[in-house]
Structure 1
Amino acid sequence: MHNTLPACRAAADTLAAATPEKIDNALIAVADAVEAAADEIIAANAADCETMDSSASSCGRLRLDRSRIADIVSAIRQIAALPSPVGVELASAKRPNGMLIRRISVPFGIIGVIFEDRPDVAFDAFALCFKAGSACVLNPEHEATHTVEKAVEVIRRGLLAQGFAPECIAMLDGGHDATLELLRARGTVDLIIPRGSRRLIDFVRDNARVPVIETGAGVCHTFFHAAGDIATGRDIIYNAKTRRVDACNALDCLLVDRPRLTDLPALCYRLSEKNVTIYADNEAFHALEGAYPLLEKATEDHYEHEWLDYKLTVRVVDGIDEAIEHIARHGSHHSECIITENRPAAEQFLRRVDAACVYSNVSTAFTDGAQFGFGAEMGISTQKLHARGPIGLSGLCTYKFLITGAGQIRP
C-alpha cells in the first residue's frame, strides 16, 4: 500500500495531462490486449470459481466465459468512442468588471473501487476512470482475487504499449486491513466507490475518511395502483423481476393496492415460468393460495431484503399514501415504480418518492447508464451529493473554476 498509492498518484498526474486522443488509443490497446488474453483470463477465473459453492447466486456473477469477455472488450471499445468528459465547460459568466469565470470539468485523480464477486467490474472501473482522466485502485474481495490480478496484468500490457505508466491501474488485496487503509487514505485517494451488497456499502460509509459515492444496494419496489392496467402491470412485474435477478435494479417487493387484490394472481402468474418464489403478507397469501405454486408467508425482514434471486415479496397496501410510506421505510433510494392509468396519482408518486430513479409505467430494469444514454456507468448512486442515479463519465469528474481578466483588482 505504501508504495502503491504514491506510484498511482504520479501516474494520475501524468494521465491528467494526456490528450483525449492518447487516452482513447490506450483504451483500444487495452481492449485488444484483453481480447488476446481471453484464455489467460478464463484460466485465472476458473481458479476463483473452484473455491465457490456452485449453487450460490454469486457464482454466476463471478464466472467469466468467452461471451462475457467479448462483452467486456466491446464495452471498453465503446467507452473509448465516447466524448471525453474532461475539459468540458459546464458554465460561464462574465462579471460586470469584465472578469470571465468558467466552470470546467477535471479529473478526480485517484479513484478507489471496492467490490465483491464480479470481476468484470475491474475492467469497467478501469476503463471509466481512465477515460475520465483518473488512476484506478481496485480492492476486490477475496472471491475474485485471481481474476482481478490477471485483469490488472493484461490491462497494463495495453497501457505500456501506448506509453502510459502501468500504475494507472493498481490492485490491493481484499483483506480487511488493506481495505481500511484505502478508506483512510485521505489526501492520497480522492474518491471511493463501493460496488456490492448493502453490507459492503455500509462498511465503506461507516469507515471512510475519503469522500464516498454510495452505489446501490437496490431494494426496488413496484406499486400496482387501483387504476393500474393488468396487462401493463403483468409485463412490467415479470420484466423487472426476471430479466436479471442479480442486478441491483431488479424488483424485490410488489405493493398491491387493496381494491386490486383479486387481480394479484393475474399479475403474478407468469413469474412461475421462472420459478419465482413469492413471500406474501396474509392478504396476498390468501389471494394467491391455490393460484400460485411457489408461495410462502412473508416476515417483516423480507421487506428490506435485496433478493438478487428468483424471489419476490408481496404486500397489500391501502392506497398511494401507504405505498409511499412503505417505500420510505423499507426502500434504499434506488429505483421505484408505480403502475397506474391515473395521471394525478402517477405525478404524485413521481414527486413524493425519494429515490434516484422513479418510474411511472416503466420497468425498473431501465436503471442503467447505457439505457439512459450515458454510454456506460460505474454504478447506481443512491445518495444526493455529487452524483445520483447511473454514474456516467461526467459523474467521475469534478470541476474547477477558471477566472481570466485584464488586471482586475478587488476594491
Structure 2
Amino acid sequence: MATNDGQSHVRRRTVLKSAGVAGVAGIGGLSGCLSSLSGGDSDVNELSVGYATSLSGPFAVFGQAGLDGARLAASDLEEELGVTIDVATGDTEVDPATGLQRIKRLVSEDDVDMTMGGVSSSVALKMGTWASENSVTYMATGSHSDAISGGSCAQYMYQPTASNSMLANTIGEQMVGAADSWYLIYSDYTWGQTAQSAVTSALEDGGKEVVGKAAAPFPSDDYTPYLNEAADSDADGIGLLVAGLDLRKAANQAMAKGIQDDFTLAMHQLEDVVYWGLDKENAGILDTAGQVWGPAVDNDASNEFCERIAENSETDPYVRHLLGYMSMDQSVRAAVRADSTAAEDMRGELVGHEVESDIKAIKGGGDMYWRENNQLVQPTFSVEARSQDEMTDDPYKNWFQTTKTFAGDDVARSLSETGCNLE
C-alpha cells in the first residue's frame, strides 16, 4: 500500500533535455529515447506541470474550468507540502493532432515533469498514448471514454474521472425504472461511442430494450433529425448522450418539439454549465443523469470547495473544476511519495493507492483508489433537476440535486471487462 498523502519530500524533477534539442518537429521519432532519460537531475522541491487542454473552441469553458481547478490545487499543495509548482499550458483546440503537438512542446521545450489536461477523449487518447510511450505521466483530466482505462489504456496514462461505464451504471437503475424502451442519440466519436455501448449494456442488463440509436456528428448545430427519429420510434425514453455544449442545443431543440411531454429524458453525464445556458424551465427537463461531482453534492467540504471556486474562477463551480483539482492533487502527491517524477516511480505510488486527501471529503467520503488499469475508482451520483423555485444562483448556481450516491466498486467494470492489461 502506498504511503499517506501528506508526505512532504520531493526529488529533483525529470528534465528531458535531449527532447528539447530535437524540437517539436523531430520529436515524434524519440519514442524509447525519452524513456531512457527518466530520473533527471534538476532542482529539488521544484515541479513543472504541463496542462494541455481546450482553451479555445467549443470546449473552452470546460478546459478553462479544469485549469482553474488545477491551479487552485497547485496553490494548496505548495502551502501544504512545501514544494513549488510551475504550470505551463497548451491549447489543444479540440483537435488530436494539435493536442499531440502541444504535449510534445510542453515536454521538449518547457521541460515539464508530468502532464495533464484534455477534455475531448479523442485528444486525450492521442496525448496520453504519446506520453506513455515516452515515459511521461499523463492525467486525462476530464476525458470519460472507456477506452482510456480500457482497450486503449497505456502504462502512464491515467483516468482521474469516472469512466463512461461508471456513469452509465450510475443512471442504469433510474433508466430501467423510468421506461421500458429507449432511443439513444450519441456523439459520434470515442466518448459518445463508448457512452452508447455502456448505456445499452446497462439497459439490456436491466431487461429493457434499446429500439434505436443515432450517431450524431460532433459538433453539430441541428439535432432535430435525430430527435425526429427518436420521436417516431416506439421508445418510451430518449437518452441524449451528446457531448459538451452541444447537449444544450439538443435540449433546446427537444423543448421546441415538446418531446419532454411525451418521453422520459436521460443524460448519462451531467455538466451543470451546459444547463446554465438554458432558462430554468428548460433546465428542468432533466429527469435523470449521472455525475462525477457537482454543487448538488451537499456536504461541508464540497460547499467550501464551491465557495473557493466561485472566488477564484470566472465560472461558477461545477465538475470540471474538481477534475482539474484532482489531477493536480494526485499527480503531485504521487511524485512526493515516490520522491521522484520518473513515470514508473509515480505509477508505483498511484496504482493501489487509497486516496485520503481533501478530494475524498469533497466527494462526500467513500472509497477512492487507483486500480491496475489506471482508473480512479470513486463514488458517483445520480441527479435530477430541482424545481424552478428551488434553483439558486447565489453565491453560485445550484440547479440540481442528488438522488443517490453509488460506491465506485458498484459501478466500475471488472478489470477483465475493461480489456486493459498493463503489467
Give the TM-score normalised by structure 2. 0.32
Q: Which has the larger radius of gyration?
A: 1
Highest relative contact order (Cα 8 Å, sep 6+), 1 or 2? 2
